Chain A
């Protein structure tokens, strides 16, 4: 992956508009977060993989870390991600966006593909 280039990512996002796409969205603070010192800590994670969605508008904003908002068909819903730092368009044309913390650990990921992600 490399640091997000807003223009490149914006262009790539456009290529996923108005067609069925597969979405991977996740955020995590690590399975062991609940064990870390402090007592109030808890492990928090959510992911959805291979949701089939259709977007009518897509935008990347911010000056890094970046945010992405994907508006679903005719304003029926939203997909949102904050804290994105890096991107990659892989050899299968999938757009991979991720947010890595200062230690390089993945904190959030937003990925779009024209075909299902492998399971």
Chain B
């Protein structure tokens, strides 16, 4: 089966912060990577430091930043769903799943990466994770690609140990460059880490291991 990684997440920068190393590792092996980004992060509160974006200029700016991050990570195909930041959970779940299913049937990915439907903090993350597993569940069991979900946050301890830990230290510099490309969102964090080895170490420790829970379907 031809390899193709499909990443489904709601905001420009989720692909980098959450799973950027994994993406870079696949891309490095020549595997095509599609990123379906549900929103343009319109409602983000990070505006750069000092602020260089406004509520109204932010979407186009974040799209640009994402295109640069995609180039750095090796994402070959970027698609937006055109939803509005923070409202994913209020969309019709059937319609959303149908859109994702159409993409899945077109791409025939060998692996899908998304957020955990219950333990990924941001309501947009969980709603899109739910829609993704719903879309995959509609496929006959033998046609379903594996779905690796990213869980985080305090509540995610309930899940126990991850099924899979991807060590992305060999592509750390690539991931860091992609984080930097999301300038409006990462500037504050990187500035705080600058000149503070302890913070830098923490940043690296938190982002160098990308942990996944493999989604188990009922049938």
CB < 8 Å neighbour of B43 from A34, A47, A90, A104: A47
Interface size on A, residues (CB 8 A): 27
CB-CB < 8 A to B57: which residues of A?
A: 90
Closest chain A residue, CB of each to CB of B82? A119
With both chains docked as a complex, state the minimum distance between the C-beta of A95 and any C-beta of chain B, in angstroms. Answer: 11
Say if the beta carbon of B45 comes within 8 Å of chain A: yes
CA separation between A105 and B58, bound complex, in Å? 13
A119 touches B45 (CB 8 A): no
A104 to B86 CA separation, bound complex (whole angstroms)? 21
In whole angstroms, how far apart are the Cα atoms of A58 and B49 in the complex? 31
B45–A96 touching, CB < 8 Å = no
| Binary contact readout A57-101 vs B (1 if CB under 8 angstroms, 0 otherwise) | 000000000000000000000000000001010100010101010
Q: A31-B121, A31-B122, A47-B43 are in contact. Are A104 and B56 (CB under 8 A)?
A: no
Name B54's contact: one of A88, A104, A107 (CB within 8 Å). A88
- Which of B46, B47, B153 has a CB less than 8 Å from the CB of A35? B153
The number of A-B residue pairs with CB atoms under 8 Å apart is: 62
Q: Knowing A35-B154, A47-B43 touch, does A106 contact B51 (C-beta < 8 A)?
A: yes
Q: Interface digits, B36-80 against A, CB 8 Å rule (1 contact, 0 not)?
A: 000000010111111100111100000000000000000000000
* From B56, B123, B188, contact of A105 by CB (8 A): B188
Contact partner, B49, options A94, A96, A104, Cβ 8 Å: A104
Main secondary structure of the interface of B (DSSP, over half): loop
Closest chain A residue to B83 by CB distance?
A119
Q: Is the interface of A mostly helix, strand, loop or mixed?
A: strand
Q: What number of B residues sit within 8 Å (CB to CB) of A?
A: 21
Q: Are B86 and A45 in contact (CB-based, < 8 A)? A: yes
With A31-B121, A35-B153, A45-B86 known to touch, is A98 a contact of B43 (CB < 8 Å)? Answer: no
Please name all residues of chain A whose beta carbon is closer than 8 Å to the beta carbon of B154 when the two chains form the complex. 35
A111 touches B43 (CB 8 A): no
Report if B84 contacts A (CB, 8 A). Answer: yes
Min CB gap B118→A, angstroms: 15
Q: Which residues of B contact A (CB under 8 A)?
A: 43, 45-51, 54-57, 84, 86, 121-124, 153-154, 188
